[in-house]
Structure 1
């Protein structure tokens, strides 16, 4: 720990009294008096004690010392002495990452392999992989949107990864309706990013179908997202060769990613999705913003306090001394 002065230039005021005494004349109070060069012999001859009006008062040395110390204490306090502690480094999130998950009925298909469980539904596999992915994003704020026939904000942006994972595990298929509203999910993400203070904004859009119920066209929504500085990474869960109702609209997902400056991925297996999430993590790694500051403890109360006590004690001592002298003179008379 070190001691420092916030305003060291205030120390220049220490010499101010010297200029005051040299420039301005001494204040003199006029009074009628007679100067006797033989005053001391007159007092000795008459045996009388001189009264206070018969002598020139001189400032006592203790008064001069008290004034000098008080002035020094005031100037040092104005310079604001502080005790510097150890530097404190704080970290704050540097990126907001929203994950939008399709919960349409097709996510119930058990065509994905999860090592410890064997064949599982697409949603179960996705939950497991997103849970691992979120643990790598400790430097970001995560949000969660679920969509089906409509889009709903499940988790606003939060730094609490455990809370995010808990709510991720609670989501289930068709809780947002049986259809797929990709455009509405992007639109809701844009609104969620309105309250974000970070400049780096990412949306990971996961779906296994085509847009069937959006009020907002997905491509138009992507243009708005690009204007707001949001990068969209799309993940289509399924094969590009799939036909029929289960076909993933990779063409639209590619357009969305291209418009916003993101990337489009095809996740036709658990291993592919795991590699994709790792790739997303490498493209846009978790980011911290560091801020450091020095804690300061003001020292002037510890300086001015004792000085006030000393000054009061000197004043009381001089007052008592004056009273005693005056009382002694009165007894002599």
Structure 2
């Protein structure tokens, strides 16, 4: 349907089913008995008033018309008519990015600092990561979380604000407490497999060693290279597995370095919140490209117009009844 050359659609078209509701109510609800039928002898003195009765009947028909107009306007407003207007394609970077975040139990460790206070690794990642995502306007970006299993927390989208909120709402335990780096990276690659952009990137952040899942990080890194996906890896935490001296929940920097090198990405070592912020800035400067995002249709709501008609009909009906 079109209006002045512009397509018209409806937010809730099912509301049109309410239009015949008064007719159904009149037909199904029991009528009041107005008395027995039969002939009625009308005295001559009343005949003179018949003209007035006809005027009253006409006035009643007018009130009925107003009531129907009020109902039709209300139903139309509820159906939500909208004009659909084409919008120009938005500028975009051409980058397709998936952030793969380790959400294992070790991310609860409190050994980072924010605003002068000691905080958990996850809190620091949320602060820096959400800011990183929000300033990626023009990129299509998504979020994968992994631990025992991997899950898509936010599908790749140009809505960077929504993806940032998904990161801020991430909680330990949603996907387990172990560290399945290979599965997390594999799911990120799956989300990028059919992406249209010329530059496909995974940013993989982990603070542990691969100890869960069905795949190894190196095998998935080889697949990433074959698919043309660069994987930038971030090793998070103060200690490395190579010099841990038996300490638990330390990061396997060598494995993450190997993933980045195999796929053609870069490896970053993060021990503090300042390091994390510097990495976000460095990755910001790494990727380039140009493209255009698909145009987003703009919709202009028209429901206030039938809503105004309903309001005026209600006022007119009220005045008509008072004047009766």
Q: State the TM bucket, normalised to the shorter chain.
A: 0.5 to 0.7
Q: Distance in 2 between matches of 1:93 and 1:281?
A: 12
Alignment correspondent of 1:250: 253
CA RMSD of aligned residues (A): 2.2
Alignment correspondent of 2:20: none
Pairwise CA distance, 1:214: 2.0
CA, structure 1 residues 290+192, in 2 after alignment: closer, same or farther (shift >3 Å)? Answer: closer
Alignment correspondent of 1:133: 132
Pairwise CA distance, 1:169: 1.1
Of the candidates 285, 288, 291, which is equivalent to residue 289 of structure 1? 291
User: Equivalent residue of 1:111, what SS?
Assistant: strand
Larger Rg: 1
Alignment correspondent of 2:107: 107
CA, structure 1 residues 193+242, in 2 after alignment: closer, same or farther (shift >3 Å)? Answer: same
Do 2:94 and 2:292's aligned partners in 1 also have CA atoms closer than 8 Å?
Answer: no
Which 4+ residue blocks in structure 1 deviate beyond 4 angstroms? none
Aligned length, in residue pairs: 205
Pairwise CA distance, 1:91: 2.1
Alignment correspondent of 1:270: 273
Pairwise CA distance, 1:129: 0.1
Q: Give the 5 Å matches for 1:178-257.
A: 178-239=177-238, 240=240, 241-243=243-245, 244-257=247-260
User: Equivalent residue of 2:133, what SS?
Assistant: helix
Unaligned runs of 5+ in 2: 1-87, 294-324
Q: Distance in 2 between matches of 1:126 and 1:207?
A: 10
Pairwise CA distance, 1:238: 1.1
Alignment correspondent of 2:144: 145
CA, structure 1 residues 175+89, in 2 after alignment: closer, same or farther (shift >3 Å)? Answer: closer
Q: Distance in 2 between matches of 1:192 and 1:166?
A: 19
Q: Distance in 2 between matches of 1:93 and 1:263?
A: 20
Q: Distance in 2 between matches of 1:288 and 1:140?
A: 10
Alignment correspondent of 2:173: 174
User: Equivalent residue of 2:153, what SS?
Assistant: strand
Q: Distance in 2 between matches of 1:284 and 1:145?
A: 20
User: Equivalent residue of 1:101, what SS?
Assistant: strand
CA, structure 1 residues 159+290, in 2 after alignment: closer, same or farther (shift >3 Å)? Answer: closer
Pairwise CA distance, 1:135: 2.2
Do 1:99 and 1:205's aligned partners in 2 also have CA atoms closer than 8 Å?
Answer: yes
Q: Residue 259 in 1 paired to residue 258 in 2?
A: no
User: Equivalent residue of 2:148, what SS?
Assistant: coil
Do 1:152 and 1:188's aligned partners in 2 also have CA atoms closer than 8 Å?
Answer: yes
User: Equivalent residue of 1:245, what SS?
Assistant: coil
Pairwise CA distance, 1:137: 0.8
Pairwise CA distance, 1:247: 1.9
User: Equivalent residue of 2:262, what SS?
Assistant: helix
Pairwise CA distance, 1:290: 4.7
Unaligned runs of 5+ in 1: 1-87, 292-333
1:62-89 deviation per Cα after TM superposition (whole angstroms, max 9, x unaligned): xxxxxxxxxxxxxxxxxxxxxxxxxx67
CA, structure 1 residues 253+89, in 2 after alignment: closer, same or farther (shift >3 Å)? Answer: closer
Return the TM-score normalized by structure 2. Answer: 0.60
